[in-house]
């Protein structure tokens, strides 16, 4: 196990790293940057890479033996039971186009459980944080999921995979089905922020296919600590290495949203 002092130091390191990266990102909004693609539309920029370097450098300085998995550099393996899970710029396409919806996401895992989650929205200077069993916060003020109890009264969110394959088509069917049953569906382009908005009661539910651990791990803890539920489409509780299907809700609409998703998938798959 670890001490409270160590937990506090890890948490403070995550906060400083996220805000440092966020400041760097904002300093480069609107500037000419080099853009590469990991597939048809999955963009990566020098800003992603430099933001990641800022975060990783601060982690290495404080905890040189900790494991790290990050979107751009992959996984740094050690024997440590601590693993940092990093998305240095979640919403890269938005950033490239000047659409003000992107974030920095940092989670810390210990023995396969997320114990710290930090998501920073540098555009609005909103810092979402959680420590396991200690609640969720936005700029140090407690946050809680909404009390909306029916999908009909809910505002939901989703995202789409970069490649227009079968997963994309199945999610389009789910989008149609959910849209007909709720107040609206938003697609903003930063999964980390989407789930934090569930935690803050701005959205009531979120679902997405094909995510990676760095997209969702920090936000998942923040939702759970705010009183919500995060899992997969089979109802299995969130684990950072099982993120191919994610649903995050205020808990009150979870069963209803999950039912619509699975019914739609069954029809789509001809079951």
CA distance 253 to 249: 7
Sequence-separated (6 or more) residues with CB below 8 Å from residue 165:
none
Give the integer Cα–Cα distance in Å for 94 and 267: 33
pLDDT mean over 46-53: 93
pTM of the model: 0.94
What confidence category does residue 39 fall into, taking pLDDT thresholds of 50, 70 and 90?
low
Strand partners, 138: 128, 141
Strand 43-45 and strand 35-37: the pairing is antiparallel
Beta strand pairing call for 82-90 and 67-70: parallel
Q: What is the pLDDT of residues 97-115, one digit of tens each?
A: 999 999 999 999 999 999 9
pLDDT band at 270 (very low <50, low <70, confident <90, very high): confident
Q: In terms of C-beta density within 10 A (0-12 exposed, 13-18 middle, 19 or more buried), how is residue 258 classed? A: buried
Catalogue all structural domains in the chain, each as residue range(s) with its CATH number. Answer: 4-142 (3.30.540.10), 151-268 (3.40.190.80)
Render pLDDT for 137-153 as a digit per residue (tens, 0 to 9). 999 999 999 999 999 99
How high is the pLDDT of residue 189?
Answer: 95
Local structure of 242: helix, strand or coil: strand
What does the pLDDT read at residue 1?
76
CB 193 within 8 A of CB 162: no
Q: Please tell me which residue, 59 or 32, carries the higher pLDDT value.
A: 59
Residue 73 has pLDDT above 90, yes or no: no
Query: Above pLDDT 70, what percent of the chain?
Result: 94
**Does the pLDDT at position 171 exceed 80?**
yes
Distance CA 45, CA 33 (A): 7
Q: At what angle do helices 191-199 and 213-225 cross, to 10 degrees?
A: 0
DSSP designation for 153? G
DSSP 90: E
Q: Tens of pLDDT along 231-263? A: 999 999 999 988 889 999 999 999 999 999 999
Is the CB of residue 132 less than 8 Å from the CB of residue 225?
yes
Query: Per-residue confidence at 38, pLDDT binned at 50, 70, 90?
Result: low
Q: Could you report the per-residue pLDDT of 112-136, keeping only the tens digit for each?
A: 999 999 999 999 999 999 999 999 9
Is the predicted pLDDT of residue 43 greater than 70, yes or no? no
């Amino acid at each position: 196990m670890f001490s409270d002092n160590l937990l506090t130091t890890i948490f403070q390191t995550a906060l400083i790293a996220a805000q440092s990266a966020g400041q760097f990102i904002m300093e480069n909004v609107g500037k000419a940057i080099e853009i590469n693609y990991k597939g048809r539309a999955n963009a990566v920029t020098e800003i992603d890479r430099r933001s990641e370097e800022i975060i990783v450098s601060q982690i290495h300085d404080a905890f040189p033996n900790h494991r790290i998995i990050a979107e751009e550099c992959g996984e740094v393996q050690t024997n440590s039971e601590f693993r940092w899970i990093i998305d240095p710029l979640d919403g890269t396409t938005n950033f490239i186009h000047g659409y003000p919806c992107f974030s920095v996401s940092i989670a810390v895992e210990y023995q396969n459980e997320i114990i710290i989650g930090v998501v920073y929205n540098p555009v609005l200077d909103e810092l979402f944080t959680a420590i396991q069993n200690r609640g969720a916060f936005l700029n140090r003020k407690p946050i809680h999921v909404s009390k909306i109890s029916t999908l009909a009264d809910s505002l939901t969110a989703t995202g789409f995979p970069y490649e227009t394959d079968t997963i994309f088509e199945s999610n389009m069917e789910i989008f149609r089905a959910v849209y007909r049953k709720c107040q609206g569906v938003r697609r903003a382009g930063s999964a980390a922020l989407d789930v934090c908005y569930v935690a803050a009661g701005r959205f009531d539910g979120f679902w997405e296919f094909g995510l990676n651990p760095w997209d969702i791990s920090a936000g998942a803890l923040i939702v759970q600590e705010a009183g919500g539920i995060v899992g997969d489409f089979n109802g299995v509780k969130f684990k950072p290495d099982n993120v191919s299907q994610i649903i995050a809700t205020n808990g009150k609409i979870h069963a209803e949203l999950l039912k619509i998703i699975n019914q739609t998938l069954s029809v789509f798959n001809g079951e």
